[in-house]
Structure 1
Amino acid sequence: MTAVAGVPVVVGVDGSRRSLDAVEAAAAEAVLRHRPLRIVHAFVWPTVGVAVSPGLAGPSLQAFRDQAEEILVEARQLATKVAPDTPITARILNGGPGQVLRDESRQAVLLVLGDRGLGGFTELLIGSVAVQTASHGACPVMVVRGDRHSAGPIVVGVDGSAVSLRALDHAVEEAALRGAELLAVHAWTGDAATELNDTLPISYEFWSGDQEEKRVLAEALAGVAQRCPDVPVRREVVRGSARRLLVEHSRTAQLVVVGDRGHGGVAGLVLGSVSQHLIHRAACPVVVVRPAPQDRS
């Protein structure tokens, strides 16, 4: 058996069905990466809005803590079934879900969340914890939604930006771990921009349409075959909507991997339109990759 060590895969749970799906996905990722698994539940003591006698306040509030413990027990039991040989820890952490998860991401190789929960970790809403965490997490964030396919390619959106190259590196790693094909997708709109880099200024002399777009993808993929010769790579350059194309590919993909925003994005804001659209619409899990610290402004 290969030794399990290093920075963990972290998964956030809130007791919802989708957060348990995230536990299964996180446990599988931990096995693939030979990493420990850390399960966390963010806990905020509820505010009691009515007068409660001192003798009842303690036991009444303790019930919420007991419920949190039960959530962790269920999640740990499920993770153990998926990854029986993987070291698993489970912790209740005091604080709001957004802050807890951002803190955890600093010590994680991958952070895994469901796409919706019980009003806690991952409601599918603009400004939800899932979107906030993917926007500000210090490690790649996997949002588990749709179906988890056991076969199919790892799909990555590429626009030539620094963060999309980091997304490509992560996608190559996922493909190698799973023995899957890598499908690198570059979509462009024909108006000197793509949806992934829709604010990139470009001169007429530099623009040459389809051939230039093929060059962008070819340069991004340069060296992948040498680094990972066992990963089959397919490339697709399409004039059209990146959001539509990536959602379409998600129906048969194991994962879709994207950067948090492409060329021209403003660091510190919420996700770009493509990554946010995928979190809401993809038919399989989505991994959002953030820039390296030196690439952030």
Structure 2
Amino acid sequence: MHGVVVGVSGSAESDAALDWALTEAASRHVPLTALLAWTGPRGVQPHEYQDLLERRREDLLALLDASVRRTGLTDVDVTASVAEGDAAESLVTVAQDVEMLVLGRRRRGRFGRLVLGSVSSEVVERADVPVTVVRAPHTTDDDGPDDDGAADDEPRIVVGVDTSGSSMLALQHAAEVAQRTGAVLEALFAWQITTLAPLPGSWGWAPPIDDYEAFAAERLDAAIEAAGVTLPPEQLVRSVVHRSAASALIEASTEAERIVVGARGLGGFDRLLLGSVSRQVLEYASCPVTVVR
């Protein structure tokens, strides 16, 4: 497989992911594969098993047709594929040669809540390609934002930036999306004194907070330059905020079309995103979240 692959199950979250993936494939000018993982019943005759398998294919084709009608994207090369076996394992297996995996975000109540659901969580942790997790629109979590994160004015891609290698990959990925789609790219550097190293020459005293902010802005500028981002000035927004990375990105998601984060964080000054920060963003963001590894 190549192009974009989306996991499909027939749920509302799955339908939202399918529509998003179809739009992404159209934007990239690549094919879309809708993958349904299915474990057939045991103890049935071979011909009965094949009949059931064929019904799953027909169901999947119907879901694809419905998505094409909803989005109006009739020019994308779409394929329906039924994988026999575990859903997470099937998605991770096909991810080796694709440009992106897309999944729906499973939502549960406040109690007994699982982050992302077990399938999405395992795929995000194991896949070597970018994974985008999509929430169903116009729905409300028990303990999260109650809008779908769509921007009213211009589309905006928000990427969490620090000095880690995964953050640089996320920045490059987000810049490519912005360049391809025409969206504004907001490079967001969130910092706190507890996670920002002392300024050079400042040992033994506490500099004004403005000095820390200026230092963080310099690091953001250096990261953008090192990542080779060449967007025009009107398409690139630099944001330096004094708060936790997770809360800053979750707040930004209410007006963003997409959040992009790196897959692994580090410690100290180089800390970011996926450890606990990316997991919180994946769980609570109002818009689709792409995790880049």
- Which residue does the alignment assign to 1:178? 181
Once residues 192 and 271 of structure 1 are traced to their aligned partners in structure 2, the CA distance between those partners, rounded to angstroms, is: 16
How many aligned residue pairs are there?
262
Q: Contact 2:161–2:171 (CA<8 Å) still a contact in 1? A: yes
Partner amino acid for 2:224? L
Q: Give the whole-Å Cα distance in 2 for the aligned partners of 1:136 and 1:231.
A: 36
Listed as ranges, the matches of 1:121-270 within 5 Å are 125=115, 128-145=118-135, 146=137, 147=148, 149=150, 151-193=154-196, 202=197, 205=200, 209-222=212-225, 227-229=230-232, 232-264=235-267
Is residue 12 from structure 1 mapped to residue 43 from structure 2 by the alignment?
A: no
Moved over 6 A (4+): 223-226
| SS of residue paired to 2:97 | coil
Is contact 1:13–1:71 with CA below 8 Å preserved after alignment?
Answer: no
- Distance in 1 (CA, whole Å) between partners of 2:158 and 2:98 is 23
Please identify, of 249-258 and 272-281, the stretch whose mean Cα deviation from structure 2 is larger. 272-281
In structure 2, C-alpha distance between the alignment counterparts of 1:47 and 1:63, rounded to whole Å: 14
Structure 1 pair 224–160 and aligned structure 2 pair: CA distance change class (3 A): closer
**Matched residue of 1:209: which SS?**
helix
The sequence identity of aligned pairs, in percent, is 35
Query: SS at 1:40's partner residue?
Result: strand
Change beyond 3 A, Cα 1:187–1:104: same
2:223 partner amino acid? A
Query: Quick check: 1:257–1:288 contact (8 Å CA) kept in 2?
Result: yes
**Residue deviations 1:196-234, cap 9 Å, x none?**
xxxxxx566477622221121111111678633387111
SS at match of 2:75: coil
How has the CA–CA distance of structure 1 residues 115 and 64 changed in structure 2, closer, same or farther, with 3 Å as cutoff? farther
Show the 5 A alignment for 1:59-78. Answer: 64-78=52-66
- In structure 1, the gaps of 5 or more residues are 1-5, 49-55, 194-201, 291-297
Match for residue 108 of structure 1? 98
Letter of the structure 2 residue corresponding to residue 252 of structure 1: E
Are the equivalent residues in 1 in contact too, given 2:103–2:131 (CA < 8 A)?
yes
Quick check: 1:176–1:230 contact (8 Å CA) kept in 2? no
Change (3 A) 1:226 1:161: closer
Which of 25, 28, 35 is equivalent to 1:30? 25
Residues 120-146 of structure 1, C-alpha deviations (whole Å, 9 max, x = no match):
xxx953661112111111210010015
Distance 2:201 2:52 in 1: 61
**Cα distance in 2 for residues equivalent to 1:76 and 1:100:** 19
For the residue of structure 1 that corresponds to 2:132, the secondary structure is: strand
Return the letter of the residue paired with 1:65: L
Cα RMSD of the aligned pairs, angstroms, is 2.9
CA distance in 2, matches of 1:126, 1:86: 28
Gaps of 5+ in 2: 138-147, 203-210
Residues in 1 aligned to 2:199 and 2:162: alpha-carbon distance in whole angstroms: 19
